[in-house]
Amino acid sequence: MESFRVCFTILLIKSAAQLLAANTIDNQGINSCFSYTPNRGWVNDPNGLVYAAGIYHLFYQHNPYSNEDTNISWGHATSPDLVNWTDKGVAILFNKTAQIQRFSGSAVVNSTNAGCPAAGRRIVAIFTDADNKTGTQAQSIAYSDDGITFKLYAGNPVIPSPPSQYASEYRNFRDPKVFWYEPKKTWLMVVVLSDIRKVLFYWSPNLLQWTYKGEFSSE
């Protein structure tokens, strides 16, 4: 085991040295070759990393206009190898007119559900819409055919509010993490009520209709 650890460490060092020798860094030339920074603006939570058609897609919280945490949108970058990244700008822009920001979430590649308008190897983003006017937080989706241009689902939000027993927690209902749960052939969402420290579980056959299934909490 010890010899394996030594060999593995040597391989990592050798790989890093080769990348550096090849001058494999991002287009800003100032960051580590193993990190990504957008060309401008504020950056925060990563919102998902997916692989589709030979390309990795990274999404993250982003203000494309300044270095402040306002105008929250989804930034986007792509990479063929997880080392060299190309800034793709904004994937999902905040709604300036309605004052709705696009908070954290996740992304999936939907290749399983023909009944969903976001099916057929499309990338689907699942995120919290945060309404600045009402304070409401709700879960919405957007989808992309080419992995670059995203379209908001016309029926958003797909989960407009928490379960009835937690109706008063609509201001802190956020950060959906979604994945395909093969044993039940369903999508599973983990989403939080942050003020009362509860994690909620939802199931969906198609990423559109979601059923509340239970919760987890701990002091």
- DSSP secondary structure letters along 93-151: --BTTTTEEEEEEEEEEE-S-TTSTT-SSEEEEEEEEEETTT--EEEEEEEESSSSS-E
Q: Are 139 and 176 in contact (CB under 8 A)?
A: yes
What pLDDT is stored for residue 120 in this prediction? 66
Q: Which regions in the chain score pLDDT beneath 50?
A: 4-14, 19, 24-27
pTM, two decimals, is 0.83
What pLDDT is stored for residue 12 in this prediction? 45
What pLDDT is stored for residue 176 in this prediction? 98
What pLDDT is stored for residue 48 in this prediction? 86
What pLDDT is stored for residue 128 in this prediction? 98
Q: Where are the alpha helices (DSSP H) in the chain?
A: 2-21
Q: CA 200, 106, 127, 86: dihedral to nearest 10 degrees?
A: 170
Least Cα distance to 52 among 146, 190, 151 occurs for 146
Domain 36-217 has CATH 2.115.10.20: yes
CA atoms within 13 A on the CB side of 93: 11
What pLDDT is stored for residue 10 in this prediction? 43
Which residues are annotated as catalytic?
Answer: 45
Work out whether the CA dihedral 99, 103, 105, 107 comes out positive or negative: positive
